[in-house]
Structure 1
Amino acid sequence: MEWQIEHLEEIPQYSQKLLETFPEVRVFAFTGEVGAGKTTFIQGLCKTLGVKSHVTSPTFSIVNEYPYLDAASGQAQSAYHLDLYRLRSFDEALGIGVEDYLYSQQYCFVEWPEIVEPLLPEDTLRIHLEILSDSQRKMLFL
């Protein structure tokens, strides 16, 4: 399956569509070249969930946690945003406790997931973002 985003301004609509299309999925693994829109899409997902704080890429911190109130239950939840680009090894990923985030039952959005591929839950949704033009992107669901 693939979606084509014609204008980057449509990302919030596609974020909502993604969560509605895959309501049971909690771990989303994003691949694509630098500038493909991984962080921008995750920002849209967090906004759709109701995250109020500013969502930034955790390039140097590796993990950012964003609290939000679940609209359906009224319960406090967390969304985790992992950027694993700077990790040098699988052992380093284990050392930061990546498994705790992946299996937390909370939303977990992972950029550059290749280094932890063996740890990803079975039901992880793998999404590859491809640049078509300055404003167009293709989302491939793998």
Structure 2
Amino acid sequence: MNKNYSFEDLMEIATATLATAKDKTLLFYGEMGVGKTTLIKEICKQLKVTDAISSPTYSLVNEYQTSKGETVFHFDFYRITNEIEALDMGIEDYLDNNHWCLIEWPQNIENLLPITAVKIHLTLLESGQRNIQIK
């Protein structure tokens, strides 16, 4: 999927993202402020997460529960300086389960990610809209 959208289209974009995802590991690429966390919040809403959703910039990972009793992990690897830090926090254990793993700044742990993960690239356009590419 390759589409331009505004924040008014966020619900539709999140629905399309979940509908086309062939894996529960979603990788969110994009510059600071492009809307990665905002899109993740909408995806969590559609997954029926019952917890408050916030960026795990300092904690690296937030764990959320859905109304169906499923677990969703939200990672932010912006502050990771090498992949050993991710290994030390047990990233492999998170990725080896069947839970949703929503990962911001995945390029900082690229060699540890499953090859089946869904890559979501967000770009801010001059118009203020965003472009999303899902691979």
Residue of structure 2 equivalent to 1:84: 77
Structure 1 unmatched ranges of 5 or more = 71-75
Contact conserved, 1:8 with 1:135, CA < 8 A, in 2? no
State the AA in 1 paired with 2:45.
K
Q: Distance in 2 between matches of 1:141 and 1:17?
A: 10
Q: Percent identity?
A: 38
Alignment of 1:100-111 (within 5 A): 100-111=93-104
Contact conserved, 1:129 with 1:140, CA < 8 A, in 2? yes
Alignment of 1:1-142 (within 5 A): 1-5=1-5, 7-22=6-21, 24-70=22-68, 76-133=69-126, 135-142=128-135
State the AA in 2 paired with 1:45.
I
Q: Distance in 2 between matches of 1:109 and 1:134?
A: 27
1:91 Cα shift? Answer: 0.6
The number of residue pairs the alignment matches comes to: 135
Contact conserved, 1:129 with 1:137, CA < 8 A, in 2? yes
Contact conserved, 2:25 with 2:117, CA < 8 A, in 1? yes
Contact conserved, 2:118 with 2:134, CA < 8 A, in 1? yes
1:10 Cα shift? Answer: 1.5
State the AA in 1 paired with 2:85.
E
State the AA in 2 paired with 1:105.
N
State the AA in 1 paired with 2:53.
V
Cα displacement string for residues 40-96 of structure 1 (whole angstroms, at most 9, x for unaligned residues) = 0000100000012221000000000000133xxxxx111100000011111111001
Q: CA RMSD in A?
A: 1.3
Q: Distance in 2 between matches of 1:94 and 1:54?
A: 26
Structure 2 unmatched ranges of 5 or more = none
SS at match of 1:69: coil
SS at match of 2:101: strand
Cα displacement string for residues 5-26 of structure 1 (whole angstroms, at most 9, x for unaligned residues) = 1x2121122111111122x310
Q: Distance in 1 between matches of 2:55 and 2:78?
A: 11
Query: Normalised by the size of structure 1, how large is the TM-score?
Result: 0.89
